[in-house]
Amino acid sequence: MSTTAAPRAVEIYNLVKEYPNPYGDDFRVVENFNLNIQEGEFISLIGHSGCGKSTVLTMLAGLNEISDGGIIVGRKEIDSPGPDRAVVFQSPCLMPWLNAFQNVMLGVKNVYPHATKAERKQIVEHSLSVVGLADAMKKYPRELSGGMQQRVGIARAIALQPKVLLLDEPFGRLDSLTRMELQDVILDILAREKLTALIVTHDVDEAVFMADRCVMMSNGPLAGVGEILEIDFPRPRNRVEIFQDPKFFEYREHLLAFLEQRAHLKTGSRTFSNGNTMGYTDQKGADLAAAVATLASSVA
């Protein structure tokens, strides 16, 4: 897609997240995270486990307090959840005593209190049909497979008619066939409803296949945007064609190289000339160890 003309749907500027630490200074997980997302754009966010991906996503959802910096969605600074942003988590967390229709209706009632009963019913039925559950609306979670439950989770999110769809490893617990089916469901919905989306994923193929840009996060603490890779495939995307395209392998290699390089930076140790060793767990630690080693050799 063109990345020049579309207006901004989301602006994240100088975002900081500190979690309280009972033993000392607050734990600064994210620092100076900056990202603009254009309307209709699909961003994938990848990075090592624990770097702060979910932290950024939940701040964008308004579910996690922002320590510093800010997030603007649709020209409005956000500080709480809103129906303009819907989230799909790894586990759909459905109410076991409600069927699929009722689970989706729960959110719709909250967001559209003034809609008529018939209008709400239409929204719920449309959302469940879009995810392929037209024939399973009356089924309870215990009667649905894991993939079907996640379809209900997606229907629940799109029933709110959000501007931005946030997905935190939504297919992480599903087998690869179901995962591919649901990737296509999401891509169809985004194309039809013209939504903006951000997906957190550990799956490099998924990140490339789905997104317009892959945002690679540096390792925490103090994690930010490490690199951004533009994915130049037309939409609608054809899985078979893309997976055979040499560009796909280039993109994939690029992401893997970034992750691999960060994995090396994440943990390591430096042995000095006097035999002492200094361990480190992130880039800053690696820099510090290198500086100490230089100092030690200049003193020796």
Ligand X SMILES: Nc1ncnc2c1ncn2[C@@H]1O[C@H](COP(=O)(O)OP(=O)(O)OP(=O)(O)O)[C@@H](O)[C@H]1O
- Under the criterion CB under 6 A, does residue 49 sit at the interface with ligand X? yes
The sign of the torsion formed by the CA atoms of 30, 33, 38, 39 equals positive
Near Mg ion by CB under 5 A, which window of 48-56, 69-77, 106-114, 277-285?
A: 48-56
Q: With CB cut-offs between 5 and 8 Å by kind, which of ligand X, Mg ion, none does residue 29 bind?
A: ligand X
CA-CA distance, 276 to 219, in Å (whole number)? 26
* Beta carbon nearer to ligand X, 148 or 199: 199
Smallest gap from residue 53 Cβ to ligand X (A): 4
- Under the criterion CB under 5 A, does residue 201 sit at the interface with Mg ion? no
* Beta carbon nearer to ligand X, 19 or 140: 19
Which residues in 50-79 contact ligand X (CB under 6 A)? Answer: 50-55
Q: Each residue of 59-84: b (16+ CB within 10 Å) or e?
A: bbbbeeebbebebebbeeebeeebeb
Near Mg ion by CB under 5 A, which window of 14-22, 49-57, 264-272, 275-283?
A: 49-57
- Pair of tokens at residue 150: 């996640």
CA-CA distance, 190 to 2, in Å (whole number)? 16
Which residue among 29, 71, 165, 185 contacts ligand X (CB under 6 A)? 29
Spatial CB neighbours of 2, under 8 Å, sequence gap ≥ 6: none
Phi, psi of 181 (to 5 degrees): -60, -45
Which residues in 210-269 contact ligand X (CB under 6 A)? Answer: 220
Which residue among 44, 54, 58, 127 contacts Mg ion (CB under 5 A)? 54
- Pair of tokens at residue 49: 């486990």
* Beta carbon nearer to ligand X, 40 or 220: 220
Among candidate residues 66, 73, 60, the one with its CA nearest the CA of residue 29: 66
Smallest gap from residue 49 Cβ to ligand X (A): 3
Near Mg ion by CB under 5 A, which window of 50-58, 94-102, 139-147, 157-165?
A: 50-58
Distances in whole angstroms, Cα of residue 26 to Cα of each of 13, 15, 20, 154:
21, 16, 5, 35
Q: Which residues form the interface with Mg ion (CB under 5 A)?
A: 54
Q: Which residues form the interface with ligand X (CB under 6 A)?
A: 19, 29, 47, 49-55, 220
